[in-house]
Amino acid sequence: MSSLRGLVADTLEFSSVDGPGNRFVVFLQGCTFDCLACHNPYTINPCVDCGECVDQCPSGALGFTTTGAVTWNPDVCLQEDHCHAVCRYASSPKARHLEVADLLARIRPAAPFLSGVTVSGGEATMQPHFLRALFDAIKADAALSRLTCFVDTNGDAPASTWKLLDPVLDGAMVDLKCLDPAIHVALTGSDNARTRDSITRLAGRGKLHEVRLLILPGRNDDVQLLEATGDWLADIDPRMRLKVIGFRRHGTRPTPIPLVEPSREHLERCAGIVAARGDFSVTVV
Ligand code: SF4
Ligand code: SF4
């Protein structure tokens, strides 16, 4: 088995919202985007060991190695996440370098109750070789090989990453933050060319499980933009699965521009505009 190590923010034994069925979720640390609406902002960057969070920990779970690296003791951590609240680098002192075998040991006890494993983030595809090694190991393990292997991705990955993952990837949920490149930059700090290419590429390989559209009122919900988004997606696959998600403030950082939560009525109106451009299977959450 590969001895590659991945930088892992956290794992979740059971989730019913990270792909089809009941899934084990691996959250990798590090992301190519810096989204204003990010719900896991402490997964965006690796820790730089500045030490600013150490004194803020009420349970004494944080400390230093002799070389000045920040340490975390999960046995005394109260999981109150003061460290995440004070970190100015969108990071966490709790991310760990884990081997594939470490993750398999966490997956095994839950396996009888699982449909599959989803790797999320941060951005799952930022550690492509670790991802490939993890999925290889799951497929090669007699007790785990029935589990499907999915990624939850912002799609900002090069073609070479999808080629590397293709033999072991069963499906991908891809976030399209906005079809318009300029608005995408304003919302994420990055262009969306690779995301658009990834959606097209994954659909062509039959591996696009779902496209997710996050609605931010006043930012990416213009009627013409939603119509153009529906048209663009319908050109790729008019029957694709779409999830239209309303922005929720919980877990996000303070933002330089105000972000507003949509009402249920507004969200359904937005979903209806996109849905009318194809024969999509649409879920609104
Ligand atoms: S792509 Fe996802 S993890 Fe990365 S910054 Fe955006 S919302 Fe956060
Ligand atoms: S988690 Fe953030 S505040 Fe804490 S040491 Fe790392 S970079 Fe500094």
Q: Are 47 and 95 in contact (CB under 8 A)?
A: yes
pLDDT band at 113 (very low <50, low <70, confident <90, very high): very high
Average pLDDT over residues 177-201: 98
* Gyration radius from the chain CA atoms: 19
- 203 and 147 together in one domain: yes
Q: State the Cα–Cα distance between residues 93 and 72, nearest whole angstrom.
A: 6
Instruction: Encode the chain in three state secondary structure.
Output: CCCCEEEEEEEEEEECCCCCCCEEEEEECCCCCCCCCCCCHHHCCCCCCCCCCHHHCCCCCEEECCCCCEEECCCCCCCCCHHHHHCCCCCCCCCEEEEHHHHHHHHHHHHHHCCEEEEECCCHHHCHHHHHHHHHHHHHCCCCCCCEEEEEECCCCCHHHHHHHCCCCCEEEEECCCCCHHHHHHHHCCCCHHHHHHHHHHHHCCCEEEEEEEECCCCCCCHHHHHHHHHHHHHHCCCCEEEEEECCCCCCCCCCCCCCCCCHHHHHHHHHHHHCCCCCEEEEC
Atom 3, ligand 2: residue with shortest CA distance: 87
Q: How far is CA 112 from the centre of its chain?
A: 25
Average pLDDT over residues 269-283: 98
Question: How many domains does one find in the chain?
Answer: 2
Ligand 1 centre distance from Cα of residue 143 (Å): 32
Residue 134 Cβ inside 6 Å of ligand 2? The answer reads no
| pTM of the complete model | 0.95
Q: State the Cα–Cα distance between residues 246 and 243, nearest whole angstrom.
A: 10
Residue from 7, 18, 35 to probe ligand 1 pocket by mutation (most atoms less than 8 Å from CB) = 35
What's the confidence (pLDDT) of residue 170? 98
Q: State the Cα–Cα distance between residues 30 and 38, nearest whole angstrom.
A: 13
- 82 and 172 together in one domain: no
In the chain, the amino acid numbered 87 is C
Ligand 1 centre distance from Cα of residue 55 (Å): 28
Residue 148 Cβ inside 6 Å of ligand 1? The answer reads no
Ligand 2 centre distance from Cα of residue 64 (Å): 11
Looking at the CA of 251, name the nearest ligand: 1
Q: State the Cα–Cα distance between residues 149 and 117, nearest whole angstrom.
A: 5
What's the confidence (pLDDT) of residue 1? 78
Q: State the Cα–Cα distance between residues 22 and 15, nearest whole angstrom.
A: 6
- 77 and 218 together in one domain: no
Q: How far apart are the first and last CA of the chain?
A: 39
pLDDT of 69 above 90: yes
pLDDT (tens digit per residue) in 224-260: 999 999 999 999 999 999 999 999 999 999 998 899 9
- 160 and 260 together in one domain: yes
Q: Which atom of ligand 2 is the closest one to the Cα of 45?
A: 7
- 21 and 68 together in one domain: no
- 177 and 219 together in one domain: yes
Sign of the alpha-carbon dihedral angle for 174, 129, 14, 39: negative
What's the confidence (pLDDT) of residue 220? 98
Average pLDDT over residues 27-33: 98
- CATH number of the domain encompassing residue 114: 3.20.20.70
Q: State the Cα–Cα distance between residues 204 and 188, nearest whole angstrom.
A: 26
What's the confidence (pLDDT) of residue 109? 97
Residue 81 Cβ inside 6 Å of ligand 2? The answer reads no
Lookup result for tokens 């959606």: 199
Ligand 2 centre distance from Cα of residue 82 (Å): 11
- 171 and 111 together in one domain: yes
pLDDT band at 2 (very low <50, low <70, confident <90, very high): confident
Q: Are 240 and 208 in contact (CB under 8 A)?
A: yes
- Residue 257: domain span: 5-45+95-284
- 82 and 217 together in one domain: no
- 202 and 73 together in one domain: no
Q: Which atom of ligand 1 is the closest one to the Cα of 32?
A: 4
- 81 and 196 together in one domain: no
- 116 and 163 together in one domain: yes
Other C-beta atoms closer than 10 Å to the C-beta of 262 total 20
- 61 and 161 together in one domain: no
